Amino acid sequence: MSPRIVRWKNHSDAETPGNRGEAKIAQQRQTKGSAQRRRGALLFIFTALLAGAITLFHTVRPAPFVSDAIAQTSAKPPALAPSGDPWWKHAVIYEIYPRSFQDSNGDGIGDLNGITARLDYLQDLGVNAVWITPFFPSPQVDFGYDISNYTAVDPQFGTMADFDRLVREAKNHRIRVIMDFVPNHTSDQHPWFLESRSSRTNPKRDWYIWHDGKLPGQPPNNWLSWFGHTAWTFDDPTGQYYYHYFYVQQPDLNWRNPQVRDAMYGVVRFWMDRGVAGFRIDAVSRLFEDPKLHDDPILPGTNAYGDPNIEHKYTDNLPEVHDVLRELRRIVSTYPGDPVLISEADEPNIADLLKMYGRHNDEIQLPMDFQVADVNKLSAPDFRRLLDQIENNPDGQPYFFFGNHDQARQADRYGDGVHNDEIAKLIATVLLTTRATPQMYYGEEIGMRTTPPARKEDVRDPIGKIGWPQEKGRDGERTPMQWDTQKNAGFTDSAKPWLPVPPSASIYNVKIESSDPNSILNFYKRLIELRRSQPALVGGGYVTLNRDDQHVLSYLRKGPPSANSVLVALNMSPDPQTVTFDLTPFGVHDKTAAPILQSPPAALQPVGLAKITMPPYGVLVGTVR
């Protein structure tokens, strides 16, 4: 028996989803060869026997322990999706970077079996779907976003059987699996590109973007890669340049070629047939380029790589993108279960974001809102303006997030270094009490910090290698998940994880926070529970309050006539603030609010709406009628 299992069995603590996951991982690391075959047979029997028990457990389990800062509710949560609503409208979606979530075999790299082992934790957290970033075969130049085979599993992450088991076990935990679909480019090691670059006459030559130079030794135009320097690379054997919006090793596919479309749509069908619930579509706005190769406009200044700033006018957001989105929507809509499409499109304004839904709501159901994600400062006026813009959108469901694998963690982007925990709870409240479908990034629920490399030789992300020291890359937001206080925070038994575990893991980890009723983790859990148990948060309208307040962001989620409304007030300043609410114009006649969640913790006593004093970075969520 491994030390980790002994530690949990000797502990006097009650069993939690976190330590159930630890036991599963320790067992996985011990089973090799014939033991793996025995485990497979036993797992099949075990899963079948427990399926009914799991369902019963989640029907009758008691409410989680909460502190005096959190009100208990006796009412059972309503159905996740009210009648007629698709599941994704009310879901909590959780992004998993598989290299960093859980290592099950001791090689220092997270894998699919590690995710399966942690499904108890995800279910207890309240997650309804996981978006898993790429785990396909890849040279790993861009850590999975340079794909050499779209319909297989990279051996470092497991096998196709492991993936099928993950989907099956996730379903047993009432969790859907969303894939990452990377249609813009392949790896330069993909068989399609190897054929394409073999000669100018190869049948797959036109599957990628090839052009002659403007002059000998000069690329066709001034287009720049998102990751620095020219977007054109000269191929000496065939004497032409190929185009890559991202790394040299990520040549762009030619989406004007019908054969490319057919091949990529085949990839979508392959994974839908294996039971996935939809796709997050990577870099979707970059699918098309100007066929006339016009130069992009030059802007003032230079970027982190020393290149002139440019406007990606001819390589981003071309209108043909919407034809592809409509075709993708038609394909997934032939499958049962309301499959979802999520788009990564860094739209510069609300007008462009709304286009992603399609004129007839026939394109993307959930376009990622980078405008809200990238406010990057605690500004009540800025958040109010963006939330108002979204609420005036009559067509599509909003989709909010504050962290992902390409952004520094929210604790560092919004924190002040002193009140980071309180600010993390404040941002969580914005994410989980608005009308938008929320996306979480692994570890943000425990307050994980960005931990960039201290030396260039420690950098793994090519962006950091190219742009050091101005650009240190994305390693800092991709460090291993912090499960406990043991070596490598319970992520791996390897002596060296693929990225180092941050020192903050000794304080911010699942085990410690699970037992602290006032932790960031338990705050997230309670918010997610309220999102389901309060009718106003499930399907209520959104009303902006106190529009001129420079420090406190406030809004009302209107409940149906027979239910409470929910008042949300968020002090986005380092100083105490006093607020007054007159809710009678919105049909609310109460003169007090009944707090159901507060930060910092406070006694849950009614507060008068005529004068509420909020502490620095304070959160108040209360019911009113």
The two counts, helices (H) then strands (E), for the chain are 19, 21
Q: Omega into 535 within 30° of 0, i.e. cis?
A: no
**269-321 tens-digit pLDDT:** 999 999 999 999 999 999 999 999 999 999 999 998 999 999 999 999 999 99
For the chain, the maximum distance between any two Cα atoms, rounded to a whole number of angstroms, is 78
Rounded to an integer, the average pLDDT of 354-359 is: 95
Flag the least confident range among 32-41, 54-63, 429-438: 54-63
pLDDT tops 70 at residue 528: yes
Residues 115 and 34 reside in one and the same domain: yes
User: What is the tally of structural domains in the chain?
Assistant: 3
Backbone angles phi, psi at 298, to 5 degrees: -85, 135
Q: Omega into 469 within 30° of 0, i.e. cis?
A: yes
**440-465 tens-digit pLDDT:** 999 999 999 999 999 999 999 999 99
pLDDT tops 50 at residue 227: yes
The strand pairing partners of 79, in sequence order, are none
Best CA proximity match to 498, nearest among 5, 94, 144 = 144
Within 118-229, strands assigned E span 129-132, 176-181, 210-211
Query: Taking the CB of residue 468, how many other CB atoms lie within 10 A of it?
Result: 16
Rounded to an integer, the average pLDDT of 40-56 is: 39
Q: How do 278-281 and 176-181 pair as beta strands?
A: parallel
pLDDT tops 90 at residue 439: yes
Q: How do 612-614 and 577-579 pair as beta strands?
A: antiparallel
Give me the CATH number covering residue 239. 3.90.400.10
- Burial group, residue 263, by CB count within 10 angstroms (0-12, 13-18, 19+): middle
* Catalytic residue flag (residue 282): yes
Q: Which of 495, 528, 561 is the last residue of a domain?
A: 528
pLDDT tops 80 at residue 110: yes
What is residue 604's predicted lDDT score, i.e. its pLDDT? 87
What is residue 509's predicted lDDT score, i.e. its pLDDT? 98
Residues 566 and 426 reside in one and the same domain: no
Give me the CATH number covering residue 569. 2.60.40.1180
Q: Omega into 98 within 30° of 0, i.e. cis?
A: no
Q: Copy the structure tokens of residue 197.
A: 């670059």
Is 613 within a domain? yes
Confidence of residue 4 (pLDDT cuts 50, 70, 90): very low
Confidence of residue 29 (pLDDT cuts 50, 70, 90): low
Rounded alpha-carbon distances, angstroms, from residue 596 to 557, 564, 593 = 14, 12, 9
Residue showing tokens 């108040």? 620
Rounded to an integer, the average pLDDT of 471-476 is: 96
The strand pairing partners of 96, in sequence order, are 132
The residues, ordered by sequence, that sit 6+ positions from 373 with a Cβ below 8 Å of its Cβ are: 400, 401, 402, 403, 404, 407
Q: Which of 528, 552, 582 is the last residue of a domain?
A: 528
Residues 319 and 358 reside in one and the same domain: yes
Q: Which residues form the domain of 196? A: 191-243
Residue showing tokens 């307050």? 447
The share of the chain scoring above pLDDT 90, in percent, equals: 84
What is residue 589's predicted lDDT score, i.e. its pLDDT? 94
Q: 426 with 619: CB under 8 angstroms?
A: yes
The share of the chain scoring above pLDDT 70, in percent, equals: 87
DSSP calls for 56-77 = HHHHHPPPPP--TTB----SPP
Report which secondary-structure segment, H or E, holds 171.
helix 160-172
For residue 614, give the 3-state DSSP assignment.
strand
Confidence of residue 12 (pLDDT cuts 50, 70, 90): very low
pLDDT tops 50 at residue 75: no
Give me the CATH number covering residue 352. 3.20.20.80
> Each residue of 425-439: b (16+ CB within 10 Å) or e?
bbbbbbbbbbbbbbb
What is residue 82's predicted lDDT score, i.e. its pLDDT? 66
Rounded alpha-carbon distances, angstroms, from residue 288 to 53, 158, 253, 364, 602 = 50, 33, 9, 17, 54
**134-148 tens-digit pLDDT:** 999 999 999 999 999
What is residue 392's predicted lDDT score, i.e. its pLDDT? 77
Is 248 within a domain? no
What is residue 394's predicted lDDT score, i.e. its pLDDT? 67
| Alpha-carbon span 312 to 296, nearest angstrom | 6
Q: What is the pTM of this model?
A: 0.89
Q: Copy the structure tokens of residue 535.
A: 């009718």
What is residue 348's predicted lDDT score, i.e. its pLDDT? 87
pLDDT tops 90 at residue 620: yes
Rounded alpha-carbon distances, angstroms, from residue 2 to 392, 489, 505, 609 = 56, 16, 22, 56
pLDDT tops 60 at residue 410: yes
Best CA proximity match to 136, nearest among 154, 163, 111 = 154
**204-218 tens-digit pLDDT:** 999 999 999 999 999
Residue showing tokens 């002659």? 212
Residues 518 and 565 reside in one and the same domain: no
What is residue 49's predicted lDDT score, i.e. its pLDDT? 41
Residues 462 and 490 reside in one and the same domain: yes
Is 21 within a domain? yes
| Alpha-carbon span 168 to 160, nearest angstrom | 12
Residues 516 and 596 reside in one and the same domain: no
What is residue 117's predicted lDDT score, i.e. its pLDDT? 98
Best CA proximity match to 209, nearest among 89, 104, 291 = 291
Is 253 within a domain? no
Residues 163 and 202 reside in one and the same domain: no
Residues 417 and 480 reside in one and the same domain: yes
Q: Which of 498, 528, 558 is the last residue of a domain?
A: 528
Is 266 within a domain? yes
| Residue type (1 letter), 41 | A
Residues 138 and 62 reside in one and the same domain: yes
What is residue 45's predicted lDDT score, i.e. its pLDDT? 38
Between vectors from CA 272 to CA 270 and to CA 277, what angle results, nearest 5°? 150
Rounded to an integer, the average pLDDT of 80-86 is: 73
Residues 479 and 612 reside in one and the same domain: no
| Mean per-residue pLDDT over the chain, rounded | 89
Rounded to an integer, the average pLDDT of 177-203 is: 98
Backbone angles phi, psi at 444, to 5 degrees: -70, -25
- Burial group, residue 301, by CB count within 10 angstroms (0-12, 13-18, 19+): exposed
> Each residue of 491-502: b (16+ CB within 10 Å) or e?
bbbbeebbbbbb
Best CA proximity match to 438, nearest among 323, 567, 530, 520 = 530
| Alpha-carbon span 80 to 540, nearest angstrom | 14
Is 81 within a domain? yes
pLDDT tops 70 at residue 362: yes
Query: Which of 54-58, 79-83, 166-170, 303-307 reaches the highest mean pLDDT?
Result: 166-170
Residues 384 and 434 reside in one and the same domain: yes
| Alpha-carbon span 5 to 8, nearest angstrom | 5
The strand pairing partners of 545, in sequence order, are 554
Q: How do 298-302 and 308-310 pair as beta strands?
A: antiparallel
Q: Copy the structure tokens of residue 417.
A: 């270094």
Q: Copy the structure tokens of residue 275.
A: 């039971």
Residues 195 and 236 reside in one and the same domain: yes
Q: 422 with 401: CB under 8 angstroms?
A: no
Is 432 within a domain? yes
| Alpha-carbon span 252 to 436, nearest angstrom | 32
Selecting among 120, 146, 282, 493, the annotated active-site residue is 282
Rounded to an integer, the average pLDDT of 80-92 is: 84
Rounded to an integer, the average pLDDT of 424-432 is: 98
Is 402 within a domain? yes
What is residue 24's predicted lDDT score, i.e. its pLDDT? 60
> For residue 168, how many C-alpha atoms fall within 13 Å in the half-sphere facing its CB?
12
Selecting among 146, 188, 289, 344, the annotated active-site residue is 344
| Alpha-carbon span 58 to 60, nearest angstrom | 6
Residue showing tokens 């979530």? 101
Report the residue count for the chain: 625
